[in-house]
A = this chain, B = another copy of it.
Amino acid sequence: MSIDVGARLRRVRLIYGLSQRELARRAGVTNGLISLIEQNRVSPSVGSLKKVLDGVPMSLAEFFTINVDEAPQIFYGDDELVEIGSDDVSLRLVAAQRPARQLTILRERYAPGAATGDDALSHRGEEGGVVVRGRIELTVGGTTRVLGPGEAYYFSSTIPHRFRNVGREPCEIISASAPPTF
């Protein structure tokens, strides 16, 4: 069938946490147009679609390339980590099946209530990590989940993300990112 431009746009917009009006403002179009496109009530001109995507920003190539069906796995349960270590050195690999990984490991500790800031982070590369102690609220794109000890995450750093300790005890995470930003 035809490409579901509407669903794609809606997904992209929500991943970046924008309302129709906010996206419209950034793109220099009307909110009504965003609404009509997302409902597939119109087939936007390439020019219009480009304007809209410039507000994200995202290229037309990216837009038509992203797979809306199978989103890459973001959250991993305790039992979804792959053990690649030995008896005395346990190495449990996150996103083992994800191709072309390049990781730098960090150890992060969050005080109760601490967060990575009011604005969401967004930068090059990919990052992932494991909660060792405490509980952390992680927002990636439009999805939010509270992770506890043993649970993990892995996502592309270009998707806006934010960490916040919602527990009463310190939270500890073993994380990795690439390419190194520090």
Contact = CB atoms under 8 A, between A and B. Distances in A.
Interface residues of A, number: 18
A18 interface: no
A46 B43 contact: yes
A48 B59 contact: no
Chain B CB within 10 A, most for which of A47, A49, A63: A47
A47 B2 CA distance: 8
Question: SS class of chain A's interface: helix, strand, loop or mixed?
Answer: helix
Interface of A: 2-3, 5, 42-50, 59-61, 63-65
19 contacts: A2-B47, A2-B50, A3-B46, A3-B50, A5-B46, A42-B45, A43-B46, A43-B47, A43-B48, A44-B45, A44-B46, A45-B45, A45-B46, A46-B46, A46-B49, A61-B61, A61-B65, A64-B64, A65-B65
